[in-house]
Amino acid sequence: MQSNHSWIWQQKDWPDFNYDSDILLTQISTVSRLIGGLAAICQTLSDVERLDAQELVLTDDAMETAAIEGEILRRSSVRASIRKRLGLPVEREDRDARADGLVSVLLDARLKKPSLTEERLFGWHAALFPGGYSGLHKIRVARYRGQEEMQIVSGSIGRETVHYVAPPKAELDRGMTRFFDWLNTENEPEPLIKAGIAHLWFIMIHPFDDGNGRIGRAVTDHLLARSYPSLMELVSFSKYISLDRKGYYRVLEAAGKNGMNITPWLKWFLQTFEAALQESQWIVERVVTKARFWQKNKNVLFNARQQKVINQLLDSGDRFEGGMTTRKYVGMTKCSSVTASRDLADLVEKNILQKRPGGGRSTSYELRRIGANRELV
């Protein structure tokens, strides 16, 4: 199985990446404005609200960074591990060594530490593979890959397509030393650009038998946390990579073949980070709305079914399509249609819900909003 491509690390000026700043300027400005807006919102959060938002973001981040590599974790295990590390109560123990290890990496990467060392990187790798295996295959843990050629391929046996071939083992130690030296030096005026370069550079080196994608994304988090420590507690870059997984692999593959100008990769990186920031702002707003709703209605009596449904509406916000109906209420609470209708009528009577316009075959409801600022009751 051969490839006719000349890989990026075979270029004579590797790894002296270059890019067109003028093309990226508008995206950088947009992302910078979003960072400023989200930072301003975060300053208004109470400690409880910040922890709630952090739990939601980190759970998504862990689930999605694993899913990008085809690993499916139990959300309950991830959530329990995150809550334990954030000092929040855990409803029930649901231990999973893989989830624990990944969560520990994500949290450590977001700590504002001035440098990333080989020892720390090996610690991350060991945490990802606590049993020393990737699936059924034993791998080198907390050390770089061996002499075997590292290829990224797809397709059936005999018809494989080579997407990328990483630098040989003989160049690996020297390449990683140069990477660490660059990473831990203030050499890029724009932290967003440095984070994008670091992600690509690490993936192109591909230093481990497995886990390169997850660790590469953790390296990105580390660099962004150095410049925006509070912000990165509430941002999941991995979630939006996962949502555009094909685009992620496509742009990485192109970067590996197309020389040292990495402008297309950085455009994709900035676009994805912009989407991640917008999602984080949405999550923070939902957390704040939820906390303030319950504070405002702390003296209103709700049964357990009503509390569950209200929380679902608060968590979903404008993404709860079609409003709450009797059928949805029954499905969520496992009660009868008669009970569901009675509960919904009670919530309308208490001015918590209101009928949505339109009607149609089934009456639907939404949380009632009042005031010029559209604040929830």
Mean pLDDT of all residues in 180-189: 88
The span from the CA of 158 to the CA of 182, in Å, is 40
pLDDT of residue 1: 45
Q: Do 29 and 274 contact (CB within 8 A), yes or no?
A: no
pLDDT of residue 2: 47
Closest CA to 217 of 63, 31, 42: 63
pLDDT of residue 372: 43
The span from the CA of 143 to the CA of 180, in Å, is 15
Q: Which residue has the tokens 């003028």?
A: 22
H-type alpha helices, 110-257: 118-128, 172-183, 191-205, 212-227, 229-232, 237-243, 245-257
Q: Do 56 and 97 contact (CB within 8 A), yes or no?
A: no
Query: What sign for the dihedral angle of Cα 204, 210, 214, 218?
Result: negative
Percentage with pLDDT > 90 across the chain: 72
Pull the structure tokens for residue 360. 């149609």
Closest CA to 225 of 62, 117, 115, 112: 112
Cis, bond preceding 130 (omega within 30 deg of 0):
no
pLDDT level of residue 362 (50, 70, 90 thresholds):
confident
Question: 300-337 pLDDT, tens per residue?
Answer: 999 999 999 999 999 998 889 889 999 999 999 999 99
Percentage with pLDDT > 70 across the chain: 95
Does pTM surpass 0.85? yes
pLDDT of residue 114: 81
Query: What sign for the dihedral angle of Cα 355, 360, 362, 366?
Result: negative
Q: Provide the angle, in degrees to the nearest 10, between the axes of the packed helices 97-109 and 118-128.
A: 150
Mean pLDDT of all residues in 31-35: 94
Angle (CA) 106 112 118, round 5°: 70
pLDDT of residue 3: 54
Q: Do 286 and 315 contact (CB within 8 A), yes or no?
A: yes
pLDDT of residue 189: 77
pLDDT level of residue 98 (50, 70, 90 thresholds):
very high
Q: Which residues of 300-316 are buried (b: 16+ CB within 10 A; e: fewer)?
A: eebeebbeebbeebbee
Closest CA to 15 of 187, 162, 204, 218: 204
CB atoms within 10 A of CB 367: 19
Alpha-carbon Rg for the chain in angstroms: 24
Q: Is the pLDDT of residue 193 over 80?
A: yes
Average pLDDT, the chain: 91
Check residues 8 and 158 and name the one with the higher pLDDT: 8
The span from the CA of 364 to the CA of 328, in Å, is 10
Q: Which CATH code, of 3.30.460.10, 1.10.3210.10, 1.20.1340.10, 1.10.3290.10, is assigned to 8-286?
A: 1.10.3290.10
- CATH fold of 300-376: Arc Repressor Mutant, subunit A (1.10.10)
Mean pLDDT lowest for which of 53-67, 150-164, 291-305?
Answer: 150-164
Which run of H or of E encompasses 365? strand 365-367
How big is the chain, counted in residues?
377
Mean pLDDT lowest for which of 65-69, 92-96, 364-368?
Answer: 92-96
Q: Is the pLDDT of residue 370 over 80?
A: no
Q: Is the pLDDT of residue 121 over 90?
A: yes
pLDDT level of residue 360 (50, 70, 90 thresholds):
low
Mean pLDDT of all residues in 143-157: 85
Question: 258-298 pLDDT, tens per residue?
Answer: 899 999 999 999 999 999 999 999 999 999 999 999 999 99
Closest CA to 198 of 184, 210, 189, 171: 184
pLDDT level of residue 201 (50, 70, 90 thresholds):
very high
Q: Delimit the domains of the chain by residue range.
A: 8-286, 300-376
The span from the CA of 205 to the CA of 217, in Å, is 14
Pairing of strands 365-367, 353-355: antiparallel
Torsion of CA 65, 70, 74, 77, to 10 degrees: -50
CB atoms within 10 A of CB 124: 24
Q: Quick one: the chain helix, strand, coil %, rounded to 5?
A: 60, 5, 35
Q: Which residue has the tokens 């724009």?
A: 190
The span from the CA of 337 to the CA of 328, in Å, is 10
The span from the CA of 330 to the CA of 343, in Å, is 10
- Grouping H, G, I as helix, E, B as strand and the rest as coil, residue 208 is coil
